[in-house]
Amino acid sequence: MEFDAVRSGVVVLALSLAVTTYAEENVPTSAMDRFDVRQFGAVGDGATDDTAAFQRALDAAGKAGGGVVYASRGNYFFAGHLNVPNAVTLAGMWQSVPAHNGIRDRGLPKPTDDGTTFLVTAGAGTEDGPAFITLNTNSTLKGVVLYYPQQNVDEEPQPYPWAIALRGKNPAVLAVEMLNPYNGIDATRNERHLIRDVHGQPLRRGIMVDSIYDIGRIENVHFNPWWSMKPKLFQWQMAHGEAFIFGRTDWQYVFNTFCFGYNVGYRFIRSKAGVCNGNFLGLGADDCHTALVVEDCAPYGLLITNGEFVSFHGPDPTMIEVRETNKGSVRFVNCAYWGPCNQIARISGSGTVGFSDCTFVQWGGKEGNRAALQARSGTLLVRGCEFRQDRPQIQLGKDVARAIIAENLFTGAERIDNQSQGKVQIGLNVSN
């Protein structure tokens, strides 16, 4: 009897703990931590300007020390800008980034179908001016769609300021669709930003990273022409668009990103603050005039692994361009390159560029006589790569200081044009 009583007590205690744990994990956010924009006057009908109502809710959350400002299903129209205070999350209904293959019939999305949609009109006609949404220390934007209704799918886009600006420490953008902004995310002048699960079609610039002195993270960001591939707009985007731009950022982490249909997919620059170094895993750039451009980078380098690069349009389709201004180290490991481009890579500068365990599928231009890798200066390492066309593989200009070309597989005869006056080692390559 005593044993049964003890056992019953244990069972009751276990059930009590289980119920308590479930309740704690599933209890709705405290009213003190949750601020509904509709209680502050937001309408969400796609026509009424909801800017002031949203800002009242955001300010109330900020004064309370933080919280979640929630925007339920609706089309919220904005003629102004929003500032998200410290420790405040502006959240819509989406828990993962939604799919919108354009807005149906060029009209507004239906509230019953399309979740939380922000219709942005502020700043039309100029790139100057504040971003539509500014995030600050520990503030987050999550689960919304940004749509610019005054952009025309058939015409060249009109300029707008950045859709989102990240400032302070630990700002985050999560599960957001930027359907058609002119400029997407200004990720400059902050620390430890997190940009994750962001999709859409930024028209001029996707993400700009600069003046970052503590590690930033970009994960699962995909830019595709889901909104418009109409000839006039899309040709403009391919002539002017840049998906990812990196200035000064100290040990940036970028994982599983993709872009389609830009003039430059990934661009590394020297800004007033400096240059980039970081870890880039799973990059993809499809149908870009130049998939990746390095104007300059840090001496400790860009580590680019598992990349997929495709170029076949434009005046001189090229996968990789390292310019004469580069002084840093760039390493491509286990990357694949295809599409009928003119050349895989054009390399200049005084830095080091390495290709290891890469696959080169197509190159050579219409005449088929261009080398896949064209190095004009600097140091070149090519090891363990496969060249899958019977065309010239490598060209070394007279200003190449050093090069090692070893243990590669060539289709057809080995065709290496070595004009270098520096130190070059070529050996252990296999032709079929």
Distance of CA 95 to the CA centre of its chain: 19
Which pLDDT score, from 0 to 100, does residue 99 have? 78
For 165-193, what is each residue's pLDDT tens digit? 999 999 999 999 999 999 999 999 999 99
Residue 86, token pair as written in the block: 């410290």
Longest dimension (CA), the chain: 96
Global confidence as pTM: 0.91
For 194-225, what is each residue's pLDDT tens digit? 999 999 999 999 999 999 999 999 999 999 99
Q: Per CATH, the architecture of 31-212 is what?
A: 3 Solenoid (2.160)
Residue 424 burial (CB < 10 Å; 0-12/13-18/19+)?
A: middle
Give me the residue spans of the domains in the chain. 1-29, 31-212, 241-432
What is the rounded CA–CA span in Å between residue 291 and residue 307? Answer: 10
Q: What Cα–Cα distance (Å) separates residue 33 from each residue in 37, 67, 134?
A: 13, 4, 21
For 74-115, what is each residue's pLDDT tens digit? 999 999 999 999 999 999 999 998 877 655 544 555 544 578
Distance of CA 254 to the CA centre of its chain: 8
> Per residue, what are the HEC states of 76-115?
EEECCCEEECCCEEEECCCCCCCCCCCCHHHCCCCCCCCC
Which pLDDT score, from 0 to 100, does residue 23 have? 36
For 337-352, what is each residue's pLDDT tens digit? 999 999 999 999 999 9
Of 20-24, 164-168, 270-274, 335-339, least confident by mean pLDDT is 20-24
Which pLDDT score, from 0 to 100, does residue 15 have? 40
For 277-333, what is each residue's pLDDT tens digit? 999 999 999 999 999 999 999 999 999 999 999 999 999 999 999 999 999 999 999
Q: What is the dihedral of CA 83, 85, 90, 95, to 10 degrees?
A: 130
Query: Stretch 355-376: mean pLDDT, rounded?
Result: 96
Average pLDDT, the chain: 91
What is the rounded CA–CA span in Å between residue 164 and residue 283? Answer: 23
Asked if residues 397 and 412 have their Cβ atoms less than 8 Å apart, the reply is no
Residues 267-270: contacts with CB under 8 Å, at least 24 apart:
267/242, 267/292, 267/293, 267/295, 268/293, 268/294, 268/295, 268/296, 268/297, 268/302, 269/245, 269/295, 269/296, 270/295, 270/296, 270/325
Which pLDDT score, from 0 to 100, does residue 55 have? 98
Asked if residues 341 and 362 have their Cβ atoms less than 8 Å apart, the reply is yes
Split at pLDDT 50, 70, 90, the class of 432 is confident
